[in-house]
Amino acid sequence: MTPAQLEGHGVIVTGASLGLGKAIARACLAHGAHVYICARDKGAIDAARAELAEESGDSRVFAMQADVADAASVRALIEAASRDLPDLLGLVNNAGVLGPKGVLEDVESNEWWRTIEINLLGTMLCCRAVLPVLRRAKYGKIVNLSGGGATAPMPRMSAYAASKAAVVRFTETLAAEYAEHNIDVNAIAPGALNTRMLTEVLAAGPDRVGTAYYNRSVRQGEDGGASLERAAELCVFLLSKQSDGITGKLISAVWDPWDSLARRQKQLHGTDVYTLRRITPKDRGLDWEQS
């Protein structure tokens, strides 16, 4: 990635008061974008804006308190960003929660549903509100945060896993719906990050999250976890013109050679690489004829 990949572009980053969201906003600013950040905690998002503004150079950073699960709040965010940003061309749906921890019959159903509201409904509401802006521009980029919950079972965190798998299929569907409008929609798996979610898992303890997952989380905390900066750079790539035409994919910041995808587009198009698909017996070399 070279500097100024996003020069003059306007980008919204949700859930950007700390952790990965703030790292994404910082990377966008470093690459020349003007950025609108939001979070539910007004004090935290204002503090993040002040911190980012000190290092933003010629780029501008705005902040707003917003709840992505509330349609009116999302509309107000998009209206403000459309007014204040010179060229709103990008959205990163980073806001999310880990949700209740424990086996399904032990967790509160309202907490389970609230996780779906924030992680899935919040992503949908933000996309729905920004799409008219991108259609008018005849160009746009949307990046949705997914993760390990989308690609493997996560016992004792069923709401998180279900919501993140749904985000990927929503991403694939939206990419197909808006391809004719030159709008690319992708999801990313940032890797196992040492953020607030890790702190939650460790605080919950092995009885609620399971011994194996808890022990992995302890080791992750000791090892330092995946790089926030690497995940943020993947977001910059997917927001930039360098990734034009790459759409409907779930890309891992850690494991996939995403920085070479621009020159592999011919191979990538028309394949189900980096997508969620049903595996059949034939895919695994098994001859199970229908009886």
216 burial class (0-12, 13-18, 19+ CB within 10 angstroms)?
middle
CATH fold, domain 10-191+232-253, is Rossmann fold (3.40.50)
User: What are residue 153's phi and psi, to 5 degrees?
Assistant: -60, 145
Q: How far apart are CA 150 and CA 166, in angstroms?
A: 8
**Main-chain dihedrals φ then ψ at residue 117, nearest 5 degrees:** -60, -45
Which residue, among 186, 190, 161, 180, has the nearest Cα to 254 in the 3D structure?
Answer: 190
Instruction: Convert the pLDDT of each residue in 2-21 to its tens digit.
Output: 667 899 899 999 999 999 99
- pLDDT (tens digit per residue) in 113-158: 999 999 999 999 999 999 999 999 999 999 999 977 788 899 999 9
Per-residue pLDDT of the chain (291 residues; tens, 9 = 90+): 566 789 989 999 999 999 999 999 999 999 999 999 999 999 999 999 999 999 988 899 999 999 999 999 999 999 999 999 989 999 999 999 999 999 999 999 999 999 999 999 999 999 999 999 999 999 999 999 997 778 889 999 999 999 999 999 999 999 999 999 999 999 999 999 999 999 999 999 999 999 999 999 999 999 999 999 999 999 999 999 999 999 999 999 999 999 999 999 989 988 999 999 999 999 999 999 765
| pLDDT of the residue at 6 | 95
Residue spans of the domains in the chain: they are 10-191+232-253, 192-225
Whole-model pTM: value is: 0.96
Token representation of residue 11: 């980008």
Catalytic residue of the set 36, 139, 160, 274: 160
Structure tokens at 2: 């070279």
CA 220 to chain centre: 21
Whether 253 contacts 189, CB under 8 Å: yes
Strand 10-14: give its sheet, edge to edge: 61-65, 34-39, 10-14, 88-93, 140-145, 183-189, 250-252
- Give the per-residue pLDDT at 56: 87
Give the span between the Cα atoms of 172 and 7, in whole angstroms. Answer: 27
Q: Is 274 annotated in the active site? A: no
